[in-house]
A and B are shown apart, each in its own frame.
Chain A
């Protein structure tokens, strides 16, 4: 199956700093990528939809100025957590979807996740 990578796999940063997380589709082009956040022992919550060449669409309650998303190419989306605070500590997972020749959305592939700890 298709492979999605994330970098870094884990990061520790100080409160007030910014952290960038990269999500790459390695063997397919992803016009759309999704960013999820997962707190310990909870489910995944969709944060935003990242569209190549256009602005991201954020879910209700997600601060777009705090979680900056850029989808500069068909294989790369980045999530920047700005002015991070301890409550932003979480497991961030991206996913990318593939399409068939008719444009129909097929499987959605998940990255390995990035564990962010803000001290």
Chain B
């Protein structure tokens, strides 16, 4: 059974600081996703990582994937308040598309 674990589950940051969210998964997968969820809303796709060593960046967020370590990271650079949200990683069980989600990381950015 595929397990996906995020760390930390709660993250309180000051504006301007950097931090990293980690996503570990238990079995081989060919793709990993990062999503953002605002309160009361559905998921917004941030990144799709398809291969070992993949790195993608959008604004202050950068995601990377190490398939050998079964680890993905979401790095936040110079955090701003607008980044406050819950961030989920999800791993595709197969190319068929079923996703297993991590627990989510609740990010709060303080002035």
Contact = CB atoms under 8 A, between A and B. Distances in A.
Interface in A3-56: 32, 34, 42-46, 49
B77 interface: no
A-B CB proximity, top 8 nearest? A113-B42, A110-B43, A43-B101, A112-B42, A44-B101, A97-B97, A105-B97, A110-B42
Given A44-B88, A93-B42, A108 B33 contact: yes
Contacts of A95: 99
A93 B35 CA distance: 14
A113 B104 contact: no
Contacts of A108: 33, 45, 97, 99
Interface size class of A (residues with CB under 8 A): 20 to 34
Contacts of A49: 97-98
Interface of B: 33, 35, 40-43, 45, 48, 88, 90, 92, 95-104
A34 B42 contact: no
27 contacts: A32-B96, A32-B97, A34-B97, A34-B99, A43-B88, A43-B101, A43-B102, A44-B43, A44-B90, A44-B99, A45-B101, A46-B98, A46-B99, A46-B100, A93-B42, A95-B99, A104-B95, A105-B96, A105-B97, A108-B33, A108-B45, A109-B45, A110-B35, A110-B45, A112-B41, A113-B42, A115-B40
A110 B43 CA distance: 6
Given A32-B96, A43-B104, 13 more contacts: A44-B43, A44-B88, A44-B101, A46-B99, A46-B100, A93-B43, A95-B99, A97-B97, A107-B48, A108-B33, A108-B45, A108-B97, A113-B41
